[in-house]
Amino acid sequence: MELVIVESPTKARTLGRFLGKEYQIEASMGHLRDLPKSQFGIDVDHDFKPEYVIVKDKDAVVKGLKAAAAKADQVILAMDPDREGEAIAYHVRYLIKNAKLKSKKSKFQRVTFHEITQPAIEDALKHPHDLDLKLVHAQQARRVVDRLVGYTLSPVLWKKVRRGLSAGRVQSVAVRLIVEREQEINAFKPQEYWLILVNLKSQKGEAFTAELISINAKKIVVAGSQTLEVSQTAAAKETITLPTKASIESVITDLKASRYLVTNVDRQEKHRSPYPPFTTSTLQQAAANRFGWSGRQTMKLAQDLYEQGTITYHRTDSVNLSPLAVTAAAEFIKKEFGQNFLPEKPRSYKTKSKNAQEAHEAIRPTDVTAKEIHDSFTPRHQKLYQLIWQRFLSSQMADAVYDATTIDIEATPEKSTNKYGLRVTGSIQKFSGWKKVTGLDNQDTIAPSVDKGETCQFIDVKSEQKFTQPPPRYSDASLVKALEERGIGRPSTYAPIISTIIDRGYIERTDRRFYPTLVGQAVVKFLLTNFDSIMDYDFTADMEENLDRIARGEKDWVPVVGTFWKPFKEKAEQVEKNSKRVPVPVEKTGQKCPECNQGEVVIRSGRFGKFLSCSRFPDCKYTANYQEKVDGLKCPGCGQGDVVIKRTKKGRQFYGCSRYPACKWASWTNPKQGNSE
């Protein structure tokens, strides 16, 4: 009998469908060994040796695996094909290697597969290999560095900012991104600008609208140098702004009394190529943009799909596809849509990641002919699977083809020497190509049928006042994209990073956007002032690259950790001794404390949201619940109570009625924006 050990019961059941009775399949239920939760657990004086302990409540699992191993002829470690999976396999082997195995010839084998299908499993069993200690060391190095940072920085934060705080190497940098974006928004000053649109009629009687893009060959730009997307003329070498209503009065006068001549008509056939298949990052971004899901939600659904054999491994930064998958896709596309929907040659995409150990294949369905999955999955699973299926299939299809038209028109006033440039653009899809399967609506914009040299009839002119907008707050999608672009974190860490900084109360997710809390702002201010290297984006990215080098066998993990640890420890000791305290700001209410009648009631931010407290804390221990009202909105359920912001036990924000439990109305979304649940 051969014992196969995987991480989860679901994965074990799926494997059981493909393996015979000679295999016994057991689950480790995740990690069995880890650093202790309440102790440092790192021997810094002896090469940073980790002091691993059995995870709480896992003793019975370890005992069961030892008993199963004692009856087995061979033990096969079939954990996920990444650093975490390799580390789990390593620790499982460590714990059961001393079990009394049935045969003296018994040995441990490691197998990896990137999809849970019959062919993949059979192939993996034919090609067993040893544990990849390079991956184990990379995972261990990450764990050790994060423990060193957390257990060193957190006590400093307790003393210098507020008790109960904690810091993380990557998480703190992610909070910095959100805090700095909020600072940009607060510092932003809107700038006025004006858009001028002229309604014209062609000689064939077609009415259309042209936009003013230049004056005397000077390109019109937004005041402050931000160029309007439509304001692009090849001949314009200088720029001009229309920042006020007064600045457009003479322009409007000229345009009302102008002759309009078509100076150029450019009609081209343009091709739009499909997007690459999903990586972990792009899957999270797409699910956030399309469905509003958090990274944690997306990855949980993807984990279920993978473990039940419907998609390939979902933690990857690769856009590569196996030759078999490409061939299967081509056959399906030809049969389903026709030969013309196939490109001239199969498409391949380049992977940015240098880590060949983990960048195996993009996320794709295991069976391209399965447009849907069986009914045992939830509607959310169905949505995510459909998204993955469409993205994979479309990545192997022909370009979408468009007829694109650009029309330039010159306006010459009767009583002025000025010349005004206007432009009309249009795009019509003539061949859907890969868009045939994406489910995205194509929006054609039809340009008028005019010829060069043709004059157009003036109908009227309109002006629109606009204001420049501040940069948007990060969403799940844009934050993951920013982390990836800066080299911060890796595919398996994006969702945990965001979840951790929300759980710690450093940021809040409101209407799918991230806002820093007062606590988060105070922590970032303190860390930037005193630990600028730890908070440096390039430093964090360099550490990630070093971890990749360890995984590739290019560096040893102990020197990497040692190079980081010594200066960091010295800096922490100096900061703890000499730095100034950065207290968490509070919001004042103007009310006297009802308990001591001396202090003022203030609004503080805690792990579970905002609460009322006395400004004299800790001398006065008064606290009370705080109900944060939403713009004076009344409850859509009862019409009597106020809409207030609440939080679940896990810290997720939602909206409820202030009259709860008399009124049980609740919604994940702001009722001011609609879509309440």
Q: How far is CA 180 from CA 117, 472, 524, 605, in A?
A: 46, 12, 9, 19
Judge if the upstream peptide bond of residue 661 is cis by omega within 30 degrees of 0: yes
Judge if the upstream peptide bond of residue 618 is cis by omega within 30 degrees of 0: yes
Question: What is the set of active-site residues?
Answer: 313
The residue ranges of DSSP E strands in 254-379, in sequence order, are 258-272
Residues 41 and 50: their CA atoms lie apart, in Å, by 6
Q: Are 45 and 98 in contact (CB under 8 A)?
A: no
Instruction: Quote helix, strand, coil % in the chain, to nearest 5.
Output: 35, 25, 40
Residue keyed to tokens 């322009």: 251
Residues 112 and 85: their CA atoms lie apart, in Å, by 9
Amino acid at 325: A
Q: Kind and range of the H or E element at 3?
A: strand 2-6
Residue keyed to tokens 């909020």: 182
Q: Are 58 and 29 in contact (CB under 8 A)?
A: yes
Residues 83 and 530: their CA atoms lie apart, in Å, by 32
Contacts of 439 (CB under 8 A, 6+ apart): 386, 390
Residues 229 and 29: their CA atoms lie apart, in Å, by 53
- Strand duo 238-241 + 218-221: pairing: parallel
Count Cβ atoms within 10 A of the Cβ of residue 91 and give its class: 0-12 exposed, 13-18 middle, 19 or more buried: buried
DSSP state of 436: G
Backbone angles phi, psi at 516, to 5 degrees: -75, 140
Q: Are 314 and 385 in contact (CB under 8 A)?
A: no
Residues 468 and 394: their CA atoms lie apart, in Å, by 36
- Strand duo 74-77 + 2-6: pairing: parallel
Residues 151 and 173: their CA atoms lie apart, in Å, by 17
